[in-house]
Amino acid sequence: MYSIDIIIEKKHRWNFKELLTNRNLDYIEWFVEFSSERSIISCDVHTREHVTEIVRFLKDNSPGSRLVLPNGSNINPAKEEFDRIVELILKKISRER
């Protein structure tokens, strides 16, 4: 299991939380006081499929989102290549195990 934080526009958070729920992924939503436009959702990913679905959703539906890895790496899904993001996250997961 590997935990990542997703900074997502609030208008997209319900669809994203529905995706996580449908995949039985645990998540916590943090409400950030300095911004009424964004939420932070922390979720646990377990497999390549989970990572792929999350990245695909963010690339296709929430261009203003960011992925924040536990080491502080900040990834903009809209600006990075899909396969590169997935591989970067999977590499971090394998190091954690």
- pTM value is 0.83
Q: Mapped to the 3 state alphabet, what secondary structure does 8-41 carry? A: EEHHHHHHHHHHHHHCCCCEEEEECCCCCCEEEE
User: In this structure, are residues 67 and 89 in contact, taking their beta carbons and an 8 Å threshold?
Assistant: yes
Chunked mean pLDDT (size 10), the chain, 97 residues = 85 92 91 74 88 92 87 86 89 71
* 84: enclosing H helix or E strand: helix 82-96
Note the pLDDT tens digit of each residue in 74-83.
Answer: 889 888 899 9
For β-strands 2-9 and 27-31, DSSP reports them as unpaired
Domains located in the chain, CATH noted: 2-96 (3.30.70.120)
Quote the CA–CA distance of 29 and 60 in Å, as a whole number: 21
